[in-house]
């Protein structure tokens, strides 16, 4: 009987030892996980240095807003976001004077750009459309008429049911990605007639607002008030939903190019641009569309197909 009791006590003691060891192991694992998390947090806080981004002015509001949030989370980081046009961004990143070059167009579409040396990071989609001075009196235009307006074949808005006002064209320079996208998908490749030429989308918007009869083109992200009127094309409204479905024709990827694979601070920032916080929240607030929501896709030649 005594031997049986001793055996029972030994069994219980052994079981307790196993239980305590298991608990200790779990605590050790949890502590290890906690240490890992702390280390990761510390590593994130240790991000420092400066980053220069240049290029597409259509992308500037988005990238600048993302940079502001990124710098708030990483106070030792300084990010400078410059405009200047897609051609400028591609040239500067290719020559190594900036770490990231933003572009509305594929690098393959720009002459003199060594596209094979650059890595494409598609961070968003942008819709674009023609914009007119509110006094013009129209909100919709046929694509064939839009081409005639920009090529100088229609010179007064009364020919399209608008006010008796001379049409004033506001263009972007040849280096502009916004111009390249608009010419390709809104004007079917036609070359616009001479008009006012401005580098900045903000300036284009201001000129359209202040000039009777003016027409230009802007990314959806610039339609934040009633100072200019965005035009529907062939009855299709310039909305996010119509771009995503492929119904509205004037849109482009927003590319952030690096020379070779992104590394260090450039990689950290581009990863941040693709995070859920940016793609699902900030990006939409800024008037851009998430790449993941697109039901269609395009290649560098402009061929569109369903996903």
Q: Quote the CA–CA distance of 162 and 135 in Å, as a whole number.
A: 9
Region of poorest pLDDT, from 34-38, 96-100, 174-178, 214-218: 34-38
Number of Cβ within a 10 Å radius of residue 164: 10
Q: Are 50 and 24 in contact (CB under 8 A)?
A: no
* Band (104; pLDDT cuts 50, 70, 90): confident
Closest CA to 246 of 170, 164, 303, 177: 303
The confidence score (pLDDT) of residue 98 equals: 97
Q: Quote the CA–CA distance of 34 and 214 in Å, as a whole number.
A: 61
Q: What is the pLDDT of residues 146-194, one digit of tens each?
A: 999 999 999 999 999 999 999 999 999 887 878 888 999 999 999 999 9
- Tell me the Cα Rg of the chain: 28
| Mean per-residue pLDDT, 67-72 | 96
The confidence score (pLDDT) of residue 27 equals: 41
* Band (59; pLDDT cuts 50, 70, 90): confident
Q: Calculate the average pLDDT of the chain.
A: 86
Q: Quote the CA–CA distance of 53 and 62 in Å, as a whole number.
A: 12
The structure tokens listed for 14 are 């052994």
The confidence score (pLDDT) of residue 45 equals: 53
Q: Quote the CA–CA distance of 255 and 105 in Å, as a whole number.
A: 7
Strands 296-298 and 304-306: antiparallel
| Cβ-Cβ contacts under 8 Å for 192 (sequence gap 6 or more) | 150, 151, 169, 171, 183
**Can you give the pTM of this predicted structure?**
0.70
């Amino acid at each position: 009987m005594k031997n049986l009791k001793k055996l029972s006590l030994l069994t219980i003691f052994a079981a307790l030892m196993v239980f305590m060891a298991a608990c200790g192991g779990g605590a050790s694992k949890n502590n290890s996980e906690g240490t890992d998390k702390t280390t990761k947090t510390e590593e994130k806080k240790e991000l420092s240095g400066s980053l220069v981004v240049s290029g597409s002015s259509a992308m500037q509001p988005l990238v600048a807003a993302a940079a502001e949030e990124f710098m708030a989370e990483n106070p030792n980081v300084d990010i400078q976001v410059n405009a200047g046009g897609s051609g400028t961004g591609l040239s500067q990143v290719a020559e190594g004077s900036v770490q990231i070059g933003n572009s509305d167009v594929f690098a393959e579409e720009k002459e003199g750009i060594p596209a094979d040396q650059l890595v494409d990071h598609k961070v968003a989609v942008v819709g674009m459309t023609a914009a007119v001075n509110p006094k013009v009196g129209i909100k919709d235009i046929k694509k064939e008429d839009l081409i005639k307006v920009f090529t100088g074949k229609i010179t007064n808005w009364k020919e399209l049911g608008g006010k008796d006002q001379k049409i004033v064209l506001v263009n972007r320079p040849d280096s502009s990605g916004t111009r390249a996208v608009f010419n390709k998908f809104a004007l079917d490749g036609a070359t616009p007639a001479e008009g006012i030429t401005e580098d900045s989308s903000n300036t284009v918007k201001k000129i359209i607002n202040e000039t009777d009869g003016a027409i230009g083109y802007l990314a959806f992200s610039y339609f934040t008030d009633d100072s200019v009127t965005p035009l529907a094309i062939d009855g299709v409204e310039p909305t996010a939903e119509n771009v995503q479905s492929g119904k509205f024709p004037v849109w482009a990827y927003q590319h952030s190019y690096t020379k070779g694979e992104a590394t260090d601070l450039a990689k950290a920032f581009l990863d941040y641009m693709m995070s859920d916080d940016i793609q699902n929240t900030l990006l939409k607030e800024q008037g851009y569309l998430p790449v993941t929501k697109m039901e269609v896709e395009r290649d560098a030649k402009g061929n569109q197909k369903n996903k």
